[in-house]
Amino acid sequence: MTLRKILLVDDEADIRLVAEISLSSLGGWQVIQAASGPEALDLASRELPDLVLLDVMMPGMDGPTTLLRLRGLAGGEATPVIFMTAKVQRAEIDRLLSLGVRGLIPKPFDPMTLPREILRILGA
């Protein structure tokens, strides 16, 4: 799998900006952004990203629900997903990892090492 296009989903615009700079200027990837679950599903079905970075706590449709819907989309069944979350309790992390994602990046993350961390998780 070649990683070119990343869908970044987070309701916090500031966090999206920081992650976008890191992913595009350090990782060299194309970044498309969504501020909510429905927006993410719309973008995912049209853009077919190679990876989804998915926030967990979002108003309206949360990360796990968005993930579930994504799996129901044509072309979204196998898209690698990495959760990004400020929920760091172990039980919570275990639950999230059991939902069929490639990994989890806790917030706050270090933008200087974020691309490396993503590649590590994807095993590339």
Binding site for other proteins (CB under 8 A): 12, 14-15, 18-19, 21-22, 25-26, 57, 86-91, 107-112
Nearer to other proteins (CB atom), residue 1 or residue 21: 21
Nearer to other proteins (CB atom), residue 30 or residue 85: 85
Q: Considering the complex, what minimum distance in angstroms separates the CB of residue 24 from other proteins?
A: 10
Nearer to other proteins (CB atom), residue 78 or residue 112: 112
Residue 108 CB neighbours (<10 A): 9
**Secondary structure string (H, E, C) spanning 82-122:** EEEECCCCHHHHHHHHCCCCCEEEECCCCCCCHHHHHHHHH
